Amino acid sequence: MISRDFRPGAPIRNFVKDLNTVLETAGDLKVRLPIVEAVRDVFQELYDKGLTQHDHSAFLLHLEDMNTPVRLGAGANITPE
C-alpha cells in the first residue's frame, strides 16, 4: 500500500461479488456479520467510484479520504491499465 501500487492481484469487483455472496448466505442462515457488512460497504463505495479493477490495497484510498490531507507514501499512484 505504501508503494501506492493498486494493480490487482484480485480486483475489487471480485471482492464485492464475494462479500455479497457471504452476506446473502449469512442472511439465509439468519446470521449478522457486521464487520463483513462494513468491509463490503467500503469496497462497494470504491467500486461505485469506478475503481473496479483496483486491488484490495485501494482500501488505503478510502482511509486517506477519511483523513484528508493525510497521504501515505511519496510516490505516484500505480493503477490498473
Domain limits, the chain = 1-81
The answer to whether the bond into 34 is cis (omega within 30° of 0) is no
What is the largest distance, in Å, between two alpha-carbon atoms of the chain?
45
Specify the CATH number of the domain 1-81: 1.10.1040.10
CA-closest candidate to residue 25, choices 15, 36, 14: 36
Residue 18 confidence (pLDDT) above 80: yes
Q: Please tell me which residue, 10 or 46, carries the higher pLDDT value.
A: 46
Whether the predicted pLDDT of 2 surpasses 80: no
Say if residue 8's pLDDT is above 80: no
**Cα 18–chain centre separation:** 12
pLDDT of residue 72: 87
What does the pLDDT average to over 62-78? Answer: 88
Q: Residue 57: what pLDDT?
A: 85
pLDDT value at residue 30: 98
